Amino acid sequence: MTTEIVLGAAMKKSAMETSAPSPSNKPSSTGNIGMRWWDARRTFVLLSFLGLTVAYMVRVCLSIAIVAIVKKNVTTDISDSNDTCPLPDGAITDNDVGGEYEWDDHIQAILLGAFFYGYTVSNFPGGRVAEYFGPRLTVGLGILVPSVLTLLSPLCIYTSPVLFIVLRVLEGMTQGVTFPAMHFMMSAWVPPKDKAKYWSLLGSGMQIGTVVAMSVGGWLCSTTFLGGWPSVFYVFGGLGVIWAIPWFLLIHDLPEHHPRISDAELQYILEHRHYAKRDKVVAIPWRHIATSPPFWAIMASSFCYNYSFYTLLTELPTYFNKILHFDMSTNGLSSALPYIVQCLASVSWGMFVDILQKRNVLSVKTVRRLSTSLALYSSAVCLIGMMWVNCDPTVAMVVMCLAVGLIGPIGSGSPVSEQDIAPNLAGTLKGLTNTLGSATGFVAPAVTGAITKGNHTVSAWNTVFVIAAIFNVIFCTIYVIFVTDKVQPWNDSEPKKISVSVIPQ
């Protein structure tokens, strides 16, 4: 084995990228005998799923907690306009019901978007950091650090809203590295034809985390446990700290580095993981990326998907509270229900297309197009349908469950396209596309705040939904026309030597 610092110990196993593994060049796998029902990839998917669950609990918890933190009389009061929904029978009308903090709509919009200011900035660096230093460390710290910061949220809120805004920016900045790093890691562990199934399972952590944050968070806010709303930050932040322990103990950057992976599993991964060469970090081919239609197609899909997603993710609790007048307990459950539907749709669709791929009924490209189209077009129809809901809470819940739930199949579509066109640069590309997508996390609340203007009427919220629907239709069409599953020539650009270990043991 060469003594170059370029790879360190990783060079010893990099040759396995081009040759079949044998007992002589990997650790013994005798410990795996009789345990074929569980393999190294399942451990990776399970802990990644739990990691995304925690990440979204930390990300979303403010959306539900802010309803309990802020005084109702500071935001929108119920007016006599015909464009507002009537209060339900028995509703409490005291203006002082709610929290003790007088944050107006402008401050709330800044707070809800603050996380995404930091998140947007760190996506691209996160992809490159993962490619240089390894995704295991990047993902682990990207979930652990914001979880620790979340534990400090109540203290910051008690001190100053400005301090809390800074904290949320830092949370987003440290968590922004997670997705690019996880996609880079997935490109090494999961062959292309298995991505629809595994990403639908792994990615469902986003919906589960949202469900837990909305439902359990709403319940915690209505109790006296640890002071009510502060318990949301304590519980979810603490779970992130606990998650980091098994992640750092059991997860490895590459299957070639895993001491307990079986020969059969490693052989399968290496035979089907095309074009991924991890011996050196690939230099970024900026000119080729900037002139690549498939890349811009993925970028278009990322923008519209994230805009719709974050509009609903950050604003649903406010919509249910201000328009339909749900109380805290009902609000949490109602806000969570659409994401339960989305999780079920994502996993079931991923399993369905995986079966069709294994039977050679659908190609990878068809799966990407079909999954993205189904998600974005159908969700757009439902968002437009919100215009006819008016003030019927039951119909509103059904339509909103469909609007959010039908986005689920996109997990088998555009979010994994970066791995298709350039697996060696999957972290970098995801960092670029997710930067634009993440920016919608603060753009969406700002647009919603500008439209509602402190006057939460039915027509104003209909405008919010229609804008998201229009974006879905336009940018999804661009994706469908220009996307491909073919690895691009610039994926194999001249490797760039570095002076540190690419992927630490």
Residues 6+ apart with CB under 8 A from 307: 437, 440, 443, 444, 468, 471
The span from the CA of 278 to the CA of 7, in Å, is 10
pLDDT, mean of each 10-residue run, the chain (505 residues)? 36 37 38 56 90 90 81 50 60 52 77 84 82 87 94 91 91 89 83 79 83 82 82 93 94 84 83 61 84 93 87 72 65 73 88 87 90 92 84 81 87 86 84 84 80 75 88 93 89 54 37
What is the predicted pLDDT for the residue at 454? 61
Q: Please report the domains of the chain, with CATH numbers, ordered by start residue.
A: 41-76+102-255+285-492 (1.20.1250.20)
pLDDT at 152: 93
The DSSP element (H or E) to which 469 belongs, if any, is helix 458-482
* Tokens found for residue 291: 């002139």
Of 261, 403, 247, 338, the residue nearest 60 (C-alpha): 338
DSSP element (H, E) containing 130: helix 105-133
Dihedral (Cα; 310, 316, 317, 318), 10-degree rounding:
100
Q: Are 221 and 234 in contact (CB under 8 A)?
A: no
Angle value at C-alpha 358, between 357 and 360, nearest 5 degrees = 60
Please tell me the predicted confidence (pLDDT) of residue 373.
Answer: 93
Q: How far is CA 313 from CA 181, 398, 399, in A?
A: 23, 16, 15
Handedness of CA 89, 95, 98, 104 (dihedral sign): positive
State how far the alpha carbon of 5 is from the alpha carbons of 16, 61, 73, 159, 185, in Å.
19, 43, 63, 48, 22
* Dihedral angle computed from the Cα positions of residues 280, 285, 286 and 288, in that order, rounded to the nearest 10 degrees: -150
Q: Give every CB contact of residue 442 below 8 A, 6+ residues apart in sequence.
A: 112, 113, 114, 116, 117, 120
Against a cut of 0.85, is the pTM above it? no
